[in-house]
Amino acid sequence: MNILITAGGTSEKIDNVRSITNHSTGRLGKAIGETFLANGHFVTYVTTPQALRPKSEDNLTVVEIETTKDLESALRAQFKLHSFDSIIHSMAVSDFTTETTLSEDLFIEKLAESLTKKGNLTDLAKLTEELYHSLDEIGETIQQEKKIPSGTDRLLLFLKKNPKIISMLKDEQPQAILVGFKLLVGVSTEELLQVGQAILTKNKCDFVFANDLEKIHGNQHEGILIDAQGQTETAETKNEIAQLIVKKVEEKWRK
Amino acid sequence: MNILITAGGTSEKIDNVRSITNHSTGRLGKAIGETFLANGHFVTYVTTPQALRPKSEDNLTVVEIETTKDLESALRAQFKLHSFDSIIHSMAVSDFTTETTLSEDLFIEKLAESLTKKGNLTDLAKLTEELYHSLDEIGETIQQEKKIPSGTDRLLLFLKKNPKIISMLKDEQPQAILVGFKLLVGVSTEELLQVGQAILTKNKCDFVFANDLEKIHGNQHEGILIDAQGQTETAETKNEIAQLIVKKVEEKWRK
């Protein structure tokens, strides 16, 4: 099979020396990649600079990216070149990217300016509406310095939504068996299943692996693989997860 | 000599899966540490998980930290235990830490609430003053979820100033020869010298190494070492910088 795996965690620049990083060791992605490779499949592995990855070999192609935007263009390029039998989207992708960063002083100056232009704002609904306009104005127009001024006591960071990568995968590669991942923090098994199920339906996944950060400790890694029929299987370690995913994808592919 | 080196880059948690990271490979700190060790000195090396560090040996003690707060307590603990002959503070320390993270909707709701309480705010000065109060209120009181909601189109991240670690070093260890570092981005040599000089005076450093991100490429690393008499020496590579700093510290210590 021709497999595409995304793994690691994207990061979004704040300025030339700082960025917002989604933590991911890449250890699970590495295990999944190595399991597919061990079974003789071809793997295109899209990952981030810090993350672990499978040992290099002939059947492995590694593509490095940093931001969510990089990821999107790297994937679109891959989809032009290849038709994948399966896509394993395990990368921790930033939901948000930096829009602008302002000192509290500059933010308040701009906000006060734009609000006073609006005249008397004692009405809550009117004020709320104007605040949305002002924030859009500030977020979209104010440019920050190359390096954030360290003088100010408080900084305001505006983050705007990134495109949801997972939502485009099935449309771009309808033939691919799509495995999505959902990480939650400190939730019940019921909620984990429910959210995983929702992600699966929404993004036309064939499988979703739902897991909870509080149940991940090194190689111990609890989680539930959900399929489109709502059937579930659990795994306890990264290797078990890798084995389970590869087995399920191979089975589905043979049908 | 008994040397304390800080190296690497701190990171500040945004939530359980994201953090703001100051990029630093730790390569320069590693070179400085190894040069001191090669000259038979004892090195306490405070660094961050991702950063490179000197190969372990008998005269080296490594202390790992992540946040600026961690760094402060780790240093205070060291200062209780040891008297250092020199402190090389090369770590890239976050100037800001996360105060709170809000969806645009929640932010505007809170801001509108607090502003309407203040009645008619057509006067710019009055409005500005009230905005400071409102932002303090929101920053200090609103708590965020364990994981940021990904539904909102815009997030506002409130960051508040971290304590300046470098400013406490000479007071805590007056006997130590203190070497500070200042990284700027895309400035003239004049500005680099001026800012470095100011940092040196302000923090009672014996030396400051001033460098520009745009003149750092792998092992090529241009910068200027400034001493308390305003004399300067330049270096072109990380190894030259390490040699220069060790030489200067040893000379000053012998006096």
The reported pLDDT for the residue numbered A124 is 83
* Nearest C-alpha in B relative to A134: B108
Q: Are A159 and B160 an interchain contact pair (Cβ–Cβ within 8 Å)?
A: no
The reported pLDDT for the residue numbered A106 is 87
Q: Is A129 exposed, middle or buried (0-12, 13-18, 19+ CB in 10 A)?
A: middle
Q: Are B155 and A158 an interchain contact pair (Cβ–Cβ within 8 Å)?
A: yes
Q: Which of B96, B142, B137, B93 is nearest to B117 (CA)?
A: B137
**What values do phi and psi take at A16, rounded to 5?**
-70, -15
* Nearest C-alpha in A relative to B110: A128
What Cα–Cα distance (Å) separates residue B120 from each residue in A115, A121, A124, A131, A251?
Answer: 12, 7, 12, 15, 68
**Which domains are seen in chain A, by residue range?**
2-95+163-254 (3.40.50.10300), 97-160 (no CATH)
- CA angle centred on B177, ends B172 and B180, rounded to 5°: 85
Structure tokens at B63: 């202390």
Q: In A, which residues are within 8 Å of B165 by CB distance?
A: none
pLDDT > 90: what percent of chain A?
69
ipTM for this model: 0.80
Residue B30's contacts (CB-CB under 8 Å, 6 or more residues apart) are B7, B52, B53, B54
The reported pLDDT for the residue numbered A125 is 85
Per-residue pLDDT tens listing for chain B (255 residues): 999 999 999 999 888 888 999 888 899 999 999 999 999 999 999 999 989 999 999 999 999 999 999 999 999 999 999 999 999 999 999 989 989 888 888 899 889 888 888 776 778 888 888 889 888 888 888 776 555 666 778 989 999 998 899 999 999 999 999 999 999 989 999 999 999 999 999 999 999 999 999 999 988 999 999 999 999 999 999 999 999 999 999 999 998
The reported pLDDT for the residue numbered B182 is 95
**Strands B232-237, B220-227: pairing kind:** antiparallel
Residue B133's contacts (CB-CB under 8 Å, 6 or more residues apart) are B114
Whole-angstrom distance, CA of residue A51 vs CA of residue B114: 44
Q: Which of A117, A158, A121, A66 is nearest to B155 (CA)?
A: A158
Q: Is A160 helix (H, G, I), strand (E, B) or coil?
A: strand
Q: Within 10 Å of residue B171's Cβ, how many Cβ atoms?
A: 10
The residue type of B8 is G
Q: In B, which residues are within 8 Å of A124 by CB distance?
A: 112-113, 116
Question: Which of the residues A101, A123, A157, A158 would you substitute to probe the B interface, choosing the one with the greatest number of B C-beta atoms within 10 Å?
Answer: A157
The reported pLDDT for the residue numbered B116 is 83
Q: Is A60 helix (H, G, I), strand (E, B) or coil?
A: strand
Q: In B, which residues are within 8 Å of A23 by CB distance?
A: 17-19
Contact A27, A238 (CB under 8 A): yes
Question: For B18, which of A20, A132, A155 is closest by C-beta distance?
Answer: A20
Residue B237's contacts (CB-CB under 8 Å, 6 or more residues apart) are B219, B220, B221
Whole-angstrom distance, CA of residue B3 vs CA of residue B56: 15
Q: Are B104 and A157 an interchain contact pair (Cβ–Cβ within 8 Å)?
A: no
Residue B254's contacts (CB-CB under 8 Å, 6 or more residues apart) are none
Q: Which residue do the tokens 């109060």 mark?
A: B133
Whole-angstrom distance, CA of residue A223 vs CA of residue A221: 7
**What values do phi and psi take at A170, rounded to 5?**
-70, -35
What would the pLDDT profile of A1-50 be if each residue is shown by its tens digit?
999 999 999 999 888 888 999 888 899 999 999 999 999 999 999 999 98
B23 DSSP assignment: -
Q: Are A23 and B14 an interchain contact pair (Cβ–Cβ within 8 Å)?
A: no
**Strands B177-184, B207-217: pairing kind:** parallel
Q: In A, which residues are within 8 Å of B109 by CB distance?
A: 128
Structure tokens at B169: 């070093």
Low-confidence ranges of chain A (pLDDT < 70): 120, 144-150
Report yes or no on whether pTM surpasses 0.80.
yes
